[in-house]
């Protein structure tokens, strides 16, 4: 039986779900989780949403109708639905024991997902996990209207870079069209989504862009966010979102690297133009992601991280 049908049937036949997505959630993680909550609601199921790191400030405009727990609920669910997690670790530490004892629906689209669930539906071609939740909704006869439509749309635009990346399939645009037909207005939706920045964020990003550098004959661009800069400008890790995409579009650049100082180590984000695979680079350093967008953490200081990433990406460019 095709997996989509199998998952749809099992969702319809089961009850008592805990739905979660990866830590530091992005638009796909939150969008797919909230959409799954709406879908299960529409089916009359008992559902709890959980994310170990909570909702980031830039998504506060979403105002979900039910709380997203940051601690495990006292009442244990029978089923876990794990969304947009390329590996079990991405779900966070708190949930780890239940991943071993409960029925786990692993619904994801990352390369190299190790199939950690009881049921694993890993669709690498799907633009986003939100698109997969949309497919489930269709299968179960639930229309992509209202909040369900908004949440799926958020996931679609987040993971496709507003329908610009290669993962934008005809099916992705057909789903977006269906959501628009059912009433979503893209203008107000995008305005709400984008109007979350502060002036301090803009100015900090200006400083980082001024310090952007090119390497490997202009094929690599690099930006760095230091804790010192965050302190000086009253900003934080939240305010770095998406800037790495901006530096990818310098003419001649094939790979953009963003490095961000964390309490422990350096969080790296990689973005590449279509012909270069950065997932393999991230994977080498214990991270992961997709062919053209990947990330991870390096336990070293900023200077070492710079040298390490530039070298690893240069080697990858040599292969393509
Ligand atoms: P970002 O650079 O925006 O944090 O992440 C880009 C992509 O890489 C996302 O698909 C995300 O799931 C993946 N990614 C980012 N950080 C990590 C990480 O620490 N581990 C793994 N496995 N994947 C990551
Ligand atoms: Mn994600
Ligand atoms: Mn995703």
> Percent of the chain scored above 90 by pLDDT?
95
Domain-ending residue, one of 194, 211, 244 = 194
Question: Could you tell me if 74 and 25 lie in one domain?
Answer: yes
Q: Is the ipTM of this complex over 0.85?
A: yes
Burial of 264: CB neighbours in 10 Å, binned 0-12, 13-18, 19+: exposed
Strands (DSSP E) along the chain, which ranges?
Answer: 17-21, 47-50, 68-69, 79-83, 103-108, 119-122, 213-215, 220-225, 255-261, 266-272, 288-290, 293-298
Helix (H, G, I), strand (E, B) or coil at 185: coil
Tens digit of each residue's pLDDT (9 = 90 or more) over 127-139: 999 999 999 999 9
d(CA 205, CA 148): 33
Please determine, for residue 63, whether its predicted confidence score (pLDDT) is greater than 90: no
Residue nearest to atom 19 of ligand 1 (CA): 296
Structure token pair of residue 94: 């708190």
Give the integer Cα–Cα distance in Å for 299 and 308.
Answer: 11
pLDDT tens, residue by residue, 268-298: 999 999 899 999 999 999 999 999 999 999 9
Cα-Cα end-to-end distance for the chain: 38
> Into how many domains does the chain fold?
2
Q: 228-273 pLDDT, tens per residue?
A: 999 999 999 999 999 999 999 999 999 999 999 999 999 999 999 9
Measure 285 CA to ligand 1 centroid, in angstroms: 12
Contact 304, 261 (CB under 8 A): no
CATH number at residue 216: 3.10.310.30
**Statement: residue 197 has pLDDT above 90:** no
Average pLDDT, the chain: 96
Residues 267, 176 share a domain: no
- Looking at the fold, whether 205 and 292 belong to one and the same domain comes out as yes
Same domain (yes/no): 185, 209: no
pLDDT digits (tens, 9 = 90+) for 139-184: 999 999 999 999 999 999 999 999 999 999 999 999 999 999 999 9
Per-residue confidence (pLDDT) for residue 254, from 0 to 100:
98
Max Cα–Cα distance, the chain, nearest Å: 58
The closest residue, in CA terms, to atom 15 on ligand 1 is: 295
Pocket of ligand 1 (CB under 6 A): 86-87, 90, 269, 287-290, 293-297
The two structure tokens encoding residue 186 = 């893209």
Q: Are residues 144 and 218 in the same domain?
A: no
9 shares its domain with 149: yes
Residue corresponding to tokens 């299960």 = 40
Which pLDDT score, from 0 to 100, does residue 294 have?
Answer: 96
pLDDT at position 1 is 74
What domain range includes position 264?
Answer: 200-319
CA distance 278 to 290: 7
Q: Find the CATH number of the domain harbouring 82.
A: 3.90.1640.10
Of 241, 289, 296, 305, which is best to mutate to test ligand 1, by the most ligand atoms within 8 angstroms of its C-beta? 289
Q: CA 257: distance to chain centroid?
A: 17
- Provide the percentage of residues in the chain whose pLDDT is more than 70: 100
* Rg, C-alpha atoms of the chain: 20
pLDDT at 319: 86
pLDDT per residue over 219-229, tens digit each?
Answer: 999 999 999 99
Which residue among 194, 218, 240 closes a domain? 194
Q: Given this model, what pLDDT does residue 41 score? A: 97
Q: Could you tell me what percentage of the chain is helix, strand and coil, using 3-state DSSP and rounding each to the nearest 5?
A: 45, 20, 40
* Token pair of 244 as six digits: 């790495």
Kindly state whether residues 161 and 278 are assigned to the same domain.
no
Residues 198-209, mean pLDDT to the nearest whole number: 97
Query: Are 47 and 188 in the same domain?
Result: yes
**CA 232 – ligand 3 centroid, Å:** 33
- Both 74 and 209 in one domain: the answer is no
CA distances from 152 to 41, 52, 97, 217, 267 (A): 15, 21, 29, 40, 28
Residues 152, 238, single domain; the answer is no
Q: Is the pLDDT of residue 90 over 90?
A: yes
Q: Are residues 187 and 285 in the same domain?
A: no
Q: How do residues 97-137 score in pLDDT, each as one tens digit?
A: 999 999 999 999 999 999 999 999 999 999 999 999 999 99
Last residue of a domain, one of 166, 194, 222: 194
Confidence of residue 6 (pLDDT cuts 50, 70, 90): very high
Residue 320 has pLDDT above 90, yes or no: no
- 214: how many CB neighbours lie within 10 A of its CB? 14
């Amino acid at each position: 039986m095709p997996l989509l049908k199998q998952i749809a049937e099992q969702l319809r036949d089961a009850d008592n779900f805990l739905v979660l997505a990866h830590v530091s959630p992005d638009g796909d993680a939150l969008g797919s989780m909230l959409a799954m909550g709406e879908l299960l609601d529409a089916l009359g199921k008992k559902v709890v949403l959980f994310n170990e790191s909570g909702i980031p400030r830039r998504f506060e405009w979403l105002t979900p109708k039910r709380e997203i727990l940051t601690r495990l609920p006292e009442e244990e669910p029978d089923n876990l639905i794990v969304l947009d997690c390329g590996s079990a670790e991405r779900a966070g530490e708190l949930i780890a024991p239940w991943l071993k004892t409960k029925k786990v629906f692993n619904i994801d689209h990352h390369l190299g997902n190790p199939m950690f669930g009881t049921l694993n539906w890993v669709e690498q071609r799907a633009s986003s996990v939100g698109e997969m939740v949309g497919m489930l909704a269709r299968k179960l006869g639930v229309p992509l209207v209202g909040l369900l439509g908004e949440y799926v749309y958020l996931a679609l635009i987040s993971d496709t870079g507003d329908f610009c990346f290669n993962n934008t399939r005809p099916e992705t645009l057909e789903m977006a069209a269906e959501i628009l037909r059912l009433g979503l207005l893209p203008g107000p939706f995008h305005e709400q989504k984008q109007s979350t920045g502060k002036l301090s964020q803009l100015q900090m990003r200006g400083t980082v862009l001024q310090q952007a550098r090119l390497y490997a004959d202009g094929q690599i661009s690099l930006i760095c966010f230091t804790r010192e800069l965050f302190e000086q400008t009253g900003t934080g890790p939240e305010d770095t979102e998406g800037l790495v995409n901006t530096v990818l579009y310098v003419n001649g650049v094939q790979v953009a690297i963003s490095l961000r100082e964390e309490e422990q180590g350096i969080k790296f984000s990689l973005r590449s133009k279509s012909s270069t695979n950065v997932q393999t680079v991230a994977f080498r350093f214990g991270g992961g992601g997709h062919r053209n967008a990947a990330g991870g953490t390096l336990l070293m200081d900023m200077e070492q991280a710079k040298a390490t990433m530039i070298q690893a990406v240069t080697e990858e460019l040599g292969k393509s």
